[in-house]
Amino acid sequence: MSDLDVLVLAGGLSAEREVSLASGRRVVAALHEAGVQAGAVDAGADLLAVLDQRQPDVVWPVLHGAGGEDGSLLQVLELVGIPVVGSSATAARLAWDKTSAAAVISRSGTCVPESVTLTHAVLRDLGADSVLPRVTDVLPVPVVVKPVHGGSSLGVGVVHDEAHLARAMMAALGHDTACRVERFVVGVEVAVGVVDDGAGPRALPPVEIAPDSGAYDYEARYTAGATEFHCPARLAPDVLDRLAVESVAVHRELGLSSLSRSDWIVTDDGTPWFLEVNTSPGLTGTSLLPQAVVASGGSLATLYRALAMAARDRS
């Protein structure tokens, strides 16, 4: 008989629903392998009734996108009083906002690309034609345009021609009420997972991302074989060490718990530039954090059980 009962929350109604369901299946399978009693439920209107009936020891939300990562569901789980694998509602809310998180991280001395954040309301009220020239005066192309909130590269685009900036911003605003225009940094794209199973946060080996198409978009993320990964990343040992230190620092600075994944660009001089952090990283078969665990010689089953146990014990 398992000494632990974990209820995994997956699905939801965001654009990343299918990714979440895939993550949920993988987490449940790994927990079963570790001898943990675990099941998954599609987070919906009956969730509180399910929690009342089952009374699990721990809840593990693997929800991606709005609702799952913006702190709102976590706030409800905190009200219910069930231990959660993951960060607090307050920390998740901060990390979910790319502009706010970047501001916190930049104050700690980490390199963050220059950026401008604009809301749909400002562009509507002041007129995009009058605002955009001011943006390109400060941030000449190439730039990256992305929703301030969201993940899986949905709504993200690289702009090399000023004439295409407005279109890219509209694409980003199709996923959010605000968009972030960010200096395009040329270098190696790297993701670093951080886990804390009760002994303090530690970094997993950095994963280098080399998509066949040149862009790590939604299809490249979740289509098997569409991206080549190298773990550890093909970088100098001192750069790998710096990435580990800075990723743990990001995790700590934002007050995160259990697990996170920081995304970076490493320039030719070995400088890591922080892009964003994910408090509910994908845990699918092609996701980066599980790849790093396996590449490090670790076991997903062992780690996931330890994360669940640590969540229960810190409550």
Active-site residue identified among 176, 189, 217, 263: 263
> Would you call 137 a catalytic residue per the annotation?
no
Active-site residue identified among 20, 23, 115, 152: 152
Closest to 56 measured CA to CA, from 106, 16, 90, 6:
6
Active-site residue identified among 261, 304, 305, 312: 261
- Strands across the sheet containing 58-61: 37-42, 5-10, 58-61
Active-site residue identified among 11, 222, 257, 260: 222
The count of other CB atoms within 10 Å of the CB of residue 198 is 12
What CA–CA distance (Å, rounded) separates 130 from 140?
16
Active-site residue identified among 11, 12, 14, 16: 16
> Would you call 282 a catalytic residue per the annotation?
yes
DSSP string, 253-285: HTT--SEEEEEEEE-TTS-EEEEEEESS---ST
Question: Any bridge partners for residue 194, and if so which?
Answer: 203, 260
> Would you call 222 a catalytic residue per the annotation?
yes
> Would you call 276 a catalytic residue per the annotation?
yes
What CA–CA distance (Å, rounded) separates 200 from 187?
30
> Would you call 152 a catalytic residue per the annotation?
yes
Active-site residue identified among 87, 257, 278, 287: 278
Active-site residue identified among 65, 260, 276, 305: 276
User: What end-to-end distance do the CA atoms of the chain give, in Å?
Assistant: 22
| Residues known to be catalytic | 16, 152, 222, 261, 263, 276, 278, 282
